[in-house]
Amino acid sequence: MLLPCILVFFVCSGLFLYVSYELSLLPIIYIIIKWGSYPERSLRALILLIYTRIFSLPLIVRLFIIYSFTSSFYFSLVFTSSHSLLLSLIIFLAFCVKLPIYGLHHWLPIAHVEAPTFGSIILAGVLLKLGGIGLIRFSSFLDFTLLKFILVSYFLFFLVFSSLICCFQSDFKRLIAYSSVAHIIAVPISLLSFTHLRIKTATYLILFHGLSSPILFSLVGLTYLFRASRQLTLIRGLVLVAPFLSFVLIISFLFTLSAPPYVSFFSEVLFFILSYGLTSYSLPFLLLFALLCLVYNLNWLSRFLFNSTSSFSSSFTLFYSFVIPIFMCHLMSFFFLFTSSVL
């Protein structure tokens, strides 16, 4: 899996980038089939494959049409081709289905529910972020002026609507999946702006979401080992029986919420500035988005920590041996990103 992910960043050919981008999906399909939780995992892996192929195949057709005119797949030679709304929509949908944005997200909750913990971490931390990288690398093919007038209202509405859906989720893993759908819409909104900060803002959003989602999925998996449930109503009172886990959950809550002094706070500020620059009507949507993010994050944190105590069947000594290395790795990465951004 590492090889196609690296090639997505370094290849200079549109065809090779497409092939590397699609090959990166094969490991998660194998993980779902091999270690899926339910008997119908093979069918759901097939649904995932078909769903993503439907929106990706028009891109390869369009690349060969461009090749018929320019005799090259290399970006430096193809950039001179004229933009069109059809080409922009084909490229935009091909990569947005992997982000995914709302409306193209229906495969994501299925994949996360079926995948084991390490599969969800790989899917949320690596594979989904390649959709944003693909949009950035193909940005010279896109006519952002046309896309802005067509899609900005759609993105702003479902930015709020998908956050509202998160407030009604009882399964913690599904809640994280839907929160990823809600939060990742910020990436295409940032790219639709016309300032020089759009690439930097989209990169920051991809990077910090690639850190926050995996730590939440890892905590879901670790708590599932001892409670055998992902329901928010069943995992309660952790502040009494697992204080260190509660501390890790609070740290994860603050980072997911993009609270200062975490560097994710700066990416959210840049996103708000760029969104307001697109249209002044985005302000009510942005305020509702921030409020609903606070609501559903406070919901899972308060239910986990402060409701009546639930009994755990296993000792937390083994649990600490798992969670301390994970927590320290994330803490070191947060410190490194903070110091590098300041410098």
What is the rounded distance in angstroms from the CA atom of residue 134 to the CA atom of residue 89? 14
Range 161-179 average pLDDT: 88
**In the predicted model, is pLDDT for residue 248 greater than 60?**
yes
pLDDT at site 289: 92
**In the predicted model, is pLDDT for residue 160 greater than 80?**
yes
DSSP state letters, 148-201: HHHHHHHHHHHHHHHHHHHTT--BHHHHHHHHHHHHHTHHHHHHTS-STTHHHH
Cα separation values, 38 from 35, 43, 113, 116, Å: 9, 10, 9, 11
Lowest mean pLDDT among 187-196, 229-238, 304-313: 304-313
Range 333-343 average pLDDT: 52
pLDDT at site 285: 92
**In the predicted model, is pLDDT for residue 47 greater than 70?**
yes
CB atoms within 10 A of CB 229: 14
More reliable by pLDDT, 1 or 276:
276
What is the rounded distance in angstroms from the CA atom of residue 105 to the CA atom of residue 98? 8
Structure tokens, 341: 């951004």
pLDDT at site 318: 46
What tens digit of pLDDT does each residue of 270-303 get?
Answer: 999 998 888 888 889 999 999 999 999 888 888 8
Q: How high is the mean pLDDT of the chain?
A: 79
Collapsed DSSP state (helix, strand, coil) of residue 127: helix
pLDDT at site 56: 81
**In the predicted model, is pLDDT for residue 211 greater than 50?**
yes
Q: pLDDT-derived band of residue 313, with 50, 70 and 90 as boundaries?
A: very low
**In the predicted model, is pLDDT for residue 8 greater than 80?**
yes
Picking from 278, 270, 275, the residue whose alpha carbon sits closest to that of residue 286 is: 275
pLDDT at site 83: 60
**In the predicted model, is pLDDT for residue 197 greater than 70?**
yes
What is the rounded distance in angstroms from the CA atom of residue 183 to the CA atom of residue 252? 15
Picking from 310, 224, 293, 201, the residue whose alpha carbon sits closest to that of residue 253 is: 293
pLDDT at site 328: 58
pLDDT at site 306: 76
**In the predicted model, is pLDDT for residue 196 greater than 60?**
yes
pLDDT at site 314: 45
**In the predicted model, is pLDDT for residue 132 greater than 50?**
yes
Q: pLDDT-derived band of residue 80, with 50, 70 and 90 as boundaries?
A: very low
**In the predicted model, is pLDDT for residue 173 greater than 80?**
yes
pLDDT at site 37: 66
pLDDT at site 332: 58
Question: Across 76-85, 104-113, 249-258, 329-338, which has the greatest mean pLDDT?
Answer: 249-258
Going by the DSSP 8-state scheme, the letter that residue 326 receives in this structure is: H
Beta bridge partners of 231: 171
What tens digit of pLDDT does each residue of 115-125 get?
Answer: 788 888 888 88
The pTM of this model reads: 0.83
Lowest mean pLDDT among 50-59, 63-72, 320-329: 320-329
Picking from 218, 23, 46, 263, the residue whose alpha carbon sits closest to that of residue 125 is: 218
pLDDT at site 92: 85
Tell me if 225 sits within 8 A of 185, measured CB to CB.
Answer: no
Picking from 209, 41, 49, 216, the residue whose alpha carbon sits closest to that of residue 113 is: 41
